């Protein structure tokens, strides 16, 4: 039995959730529900009013009839009593029985009670009290009897509940008055009338009203559903069309039918979609031209750049034989040609991302070993700037699916950026992992950045301090390319920074291709960070257990 109760409760909860979901998501359901509920409330109020009115009318009609019948029966009985010359007890008792039989016949009621009015002189011929009410005798209240006893000529009534033959209770009315019995004195006369027929009529009317109300609600609901369907269907088509348009299907349109408001909406929407498609096509063509221009320029510059590079290398190799000024010129030429070559490579890479033609060459890669290789390659540069590069790797030793060339480029950019702005202080590279992700953080303790600077740190060719000279020959595209490389892996590249307290760049990659990241193994802000620092958007400072 307990299991059935739990199942019923579960079914009720599922039904409730389904109704709430339909209420939130379906305009048609919500409109029909509101209409049916409002109509039901109105029909219910009208039904209650009609039921009460019919009940009152039935009661008043029956009451008037009862009072007339009772008065007639009382008059007939009093006429019989007044015409008699009974003198002894037996004759008076027989006379009273005759009067009571006449009352039952005239009133069509078998419920008759006769009680001698208290306070009269005792009489040996006065008949005993009698009643045919049976168990319903108690319905004759003391208040009713007192009113009848005080007024010999009045007629009084009271609503009561009578007991029927089958033991059930039915509404009724008791009417009281006085009669005078010869020799015996005054008696209280009470006649009971059942209102079972009136109650049956009222119940029939109520059932009829209830059935008609339910049928009317169903009819209103059906009509509302049909009407709303005609109105909501075009709106649903417009909503579905707008969703397809938002997802990139620019050729979808709303069918135009008729000349009503819905047709006007469809024409306006289609016109807006045409304009939007035209503008997007223009922007796409412009972007394609721009990307092709950057790619073509980069390719065309490679031939003269190769010639300049060969000539520059020849001059650079022989710089010791030149005068000091010419030697310095050869060194500057060599440095700038190298930077120019890096810039062309980065421009080509950016143009590939802009064109959407980048494809990853993923393979199982140990991020800790990759970080060690990059640190070993940049350690001499860090030593020249006075920065000690340390690797902390509590996790991340298991292989993860990634493109090692692109990830190596990200780590190289992050460490180079830390050396550039670390002001000769230590640099900590942390690698950790959990069951779904692997993360690498590069923490420096240099000048740091403000919130305004963080918002631009991944912009192309952006510098926090434009007057500051690059000391390691960056192109200004390293972080922008790193962000694109991380996004290509469906990973995160985030930054925390605080002025005077340094910065921390965190790279988070999924361990398996296609997995959506939910949290990073490395904390951001870092554990030793000042809480007043700033975190880039979408950073989630949450740490999971090591894998």
CA distance 427 to 333: 32
**Which of 29-43, 208-222, 356-370, 470-484 has the lowest average pLDDT?**
470-484
Give a yes or no: residue 18 inside a domain.
no
At residue 291 the predicted structure's pLDDT band, cuts being 50, 70 and 90, is low
- What is the C-alpha radius of gyration for the chain, rounded to an integer number of angstroms? 51
* Helix 404-421 × helix 478-488 angle, to 10°: 140
CA distance 336 to 288: 30
Average confidence score pLDDT of the chain? 80
Give a yes or no: residue 436 inside a domain.
yes
Distance, CA of 402 to chain centre: 39
Residues 6+ apart with CB under 8 A from 255: 237, 266
- pLDDT tens for 391-437 read 888 887 788 888 888 888 888 888 888 888 888 888 899 998 888 88
- pLDDT tens for 55-96 read 888 889 888 998 998 899 888 888 888 888 777 888 888 888
Give a yes or no: residue 72 inside a domain.
no
Which one of 334, 358, 382 terminates a domain?
358
Give a yes or no: residue 395 inside a domain.
yes
Buried b (16+ CB within 10 A) or exposed e, 456-493: ebbeeeeebeeeeeeeeebbebbbbbbbbbbeebebbb
Percentage of residues in the chain with pLDDT exceeding 70? 85
Q: Are residues 364 and 493 in the same domain?
A: yes
Higher pLDDT, 118 or 288: 118
Instruction: Give pLDDT, residue 544.
Output: 38
Residues 6+ apart with CB under 8 A from 9: none
Going 346 to 348 to 353 to 358, the CA torsion angle's sign is negative
- Mean pLDDT, rounded, for 105-132: 84
Q: Are residues 279 and 346 in the same domain?
A: yes
- pLDDT tens for 210-222 read 888 889 888 988 8
Q: Are residues 376 and 505 in the same domain?
A: yes
- pLDDT tens for 434-452 read 888 899 999 988 888 888 8
* Helices (H) then strands (E): counts for the chain: 11, 13
> How many CB atoms within 10 Å of residue 275?
10
Q: Domain of 386?
A: 360-467+474-535
Give a yes or no: residue 528 inside a domain.
yes
CA distance 7 to 4: 5
Q: Is the pLDDT of residue 470 over 60?
A: no
Going 51 to 57 to 63 to 69, the CA torsion angle's sign is negative
- Mean pLDDT, rounded, for 311-324: 77
Q: Are residues 309 and 445 in the same domain?
A: no
Question: Which tokens in the block code for residue 247?
Answer: 């997802």
Which one of 300, 333, 358 terminates a domain?
358
Instruction: Give pLDDT, residue 175.
Output: 92
Long-range contacts of residues 201-206, Cβ cutoff 8 Å, at least 24 apart: 201/58, 202/51, 202/54, 202/55, 202/58, 205/50, 205/51, 205/54, 206/47, 206/51
Give Cα separations from 495 to 392, 470, 503 (angstroms): 18, 21, 7
- Mean pLDDT, rounded, for 210-235: 84
CA distance 305 to 279: 38
Going 53 to 58 to 60 to 61, the CA torsion angle's sign is positive
Whether the Cβ atoms of residue 441 and residue 492 lie closer than 8 Å to each other: no
Give a yes or no: residue 488 inside a domain.
yes
Q: Taking CA 140 as the corner, what is the angle to CA 136 and CA 141, rounded to the nearest 5 degrees?
A: 130
Instruction: Give pLDDT, residue 156.
Output: 92
Higher pLDDT, 300 or 142: 142
Which one of 305, 331, 358 terminates a domain?
358
- H or E element, residue 175: strand 169-181
Q: Are residues 284 and 393 in the same domain?
A: no
Q: Are residues 271 and 366 in the same domain?
A: no
Place of tokens 């291709």: 513
Going 452 to 457 to 460 to 463, the CA torsion angle's sign is positive
Give a yes or no: residue 91 inside a domain.
no
Q: Taking CA 433 as the corner, what is the angle to CA 430 and CA 437, rounded to the nearest 5 degrees?
A: 120
As for how many domains the chain has, the answer is: 2
Instruction: Give pLDDT, residue 2.
Output: 41
Q: Are residues 290 and 321 in the same domain?
A: yes
> Residue 451 maps to which CATH number?
3.30.565.10
Instruction: Give pLDDT, residue 8.
Output: 62
- Mean pLDDT, rounded, for 250-260: 77
Give a yes or no: residue 444 inside a domain.
yes
At residue 353 the predicted structure's pLDDT band, cuts being 50, 70 and 90, is low
pTM > 0.75: yes or no: no
Q: Are residues 368 and 350 in the same domain?
A: no
CA distance 265 to 238: 9
Question: Which tokens in the block code for residue 491?
Answer: 């990973």
Q: Is the pLDDT of residue 299 over 70?
A: no
Q: Is the pLDDT of residue 344 over 50?
A: yes
Q: Is the pLDDT of residue 545 over 50?
A: no
Q: Are residues 365 and 339 in the same domain?
A: no
Q: Are residues 332 and 366 in the same domain?
A: no
Q: Are residues 316 and 278 in the same domain?
A: yes
Q: Are residues 501 and 382 in the same domain?
A: yes
Instruction: Give pLDDT, residue 540.
Output: 42
CA distance 280 to 248: 10
> Residue 285 maps to which CATH number?
1.10.287.130
Q: Taking CA 86 as the corner, what is the angle to CA 80 and CA 91, rounded to the nearest 5 degrees?
A: 100
CA distance 221 to 31: 10
Q: Is the pLDDT of residue 262 over 80?
A: no
């Amino acid at each position: 039995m307990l299991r059935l109760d739990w199942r019923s409760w579960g079914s009720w909860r599922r039904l409730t959730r389904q109704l709430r979901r339909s209420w939130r998501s379906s305009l048609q359901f919500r409109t029909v529900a509101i209409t049916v509920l409002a109509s039901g409330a109105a029909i219910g109020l009208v039904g209650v009013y009609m039921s009460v009115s019919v009940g009152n009318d039935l009661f008043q009609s029956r009451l008037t009839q009862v009072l007339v019948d009772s008065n007639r029966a009382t008059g007939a009985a009093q006429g019989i009593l007044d015409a008699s010359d009974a003198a002894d007890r037996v004759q008076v008792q027989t006379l009273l029985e005759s009067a009571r039989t006449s009352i039952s016949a005239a009133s069509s009621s078998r419920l008759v009670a006769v009680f001698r009015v208290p306070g009269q002189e005792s009489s040996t011929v006065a008949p005993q009290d009698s009643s045919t009410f049976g168990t319903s005798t108690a319905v004759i209240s003391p208040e009713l009897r007192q009113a009848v006893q005080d007024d010999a000529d009045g007629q009084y009534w009271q609503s009561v509940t009578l007991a029927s033959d089958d033991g059930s209770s039915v509404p009724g009315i008791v009417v009281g008055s006085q009669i005078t019995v010869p020799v015996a004195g005054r008696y209280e006369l009470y006649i009971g009338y059942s209102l079972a027929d009136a109650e049956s009529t009222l119940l029939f009317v109520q059932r009829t009203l209830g059935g008609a109300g339910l049928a009317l609600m169903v009819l209103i609901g059906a009509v509302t559903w049909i009407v709303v369907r005609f109105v909501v269907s075009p709106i649903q088509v417009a909503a579905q069309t707008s969703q397809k348009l938002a997802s990139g299907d620019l050729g979808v349109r709303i069918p135009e039918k008729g000349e009503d408001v819905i047709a006007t909406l469809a024409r306006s929407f289609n016109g807006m979609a045409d304009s939007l498609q035209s503008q997007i096509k223009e922007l796409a063509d412009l972007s394609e031209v721009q990307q092709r221009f950057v790619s073509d320029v980069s390719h065309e510059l490679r031939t003269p750049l190769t010639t300049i590079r060969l000539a520059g290398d020849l001059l650079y190799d022989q710089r010791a034989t030149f005068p000091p000024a010419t030697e310095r010129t050869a060194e500057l030429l060599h440095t700038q040609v190298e930077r120019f070559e890096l810039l062309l490579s980065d421009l080509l890479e950016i143009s590939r991302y802009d064109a959407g033609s980048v494809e990853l060459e993923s393979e199982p890669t140990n991020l800790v070993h990759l970080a060690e290789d990059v640190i070993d390659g940049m350690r001499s540069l860090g030593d020249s700037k006075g920065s000690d590069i340390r690797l902390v790797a509590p996790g991340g030793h298991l292989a993860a699916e990634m493109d090692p060339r692109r990830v190596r480029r990200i780590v190289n950019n992050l460490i180079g950026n830390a050396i550039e702005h670390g002001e000769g202080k230590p640099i900590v590279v942390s690698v950790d992992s959990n069951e779904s992700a692997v993360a690498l953080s590069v923490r420096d303790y240099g000048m740091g950045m403000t919130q305004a600077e963080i918002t631009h740190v991944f912009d192309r060719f952006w510098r926090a301090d434009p007057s500051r000279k690059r000391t390691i020959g960056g192109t200004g595209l390293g972080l922008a390319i790193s962000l694109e490389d991380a996004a290509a892996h469906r990973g995160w590249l985030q930054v925390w920074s605080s002025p005077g307290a340094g910065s921390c760049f965190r790279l988070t990659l999924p361990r398996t291709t296609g997995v959506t990241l939910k949290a990073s193994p490395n904390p951001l802000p870092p554990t030793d960070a000042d809480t007043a620092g700033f975190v880039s958007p979408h950073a989630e400072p949450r740490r999971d257990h090591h894998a």
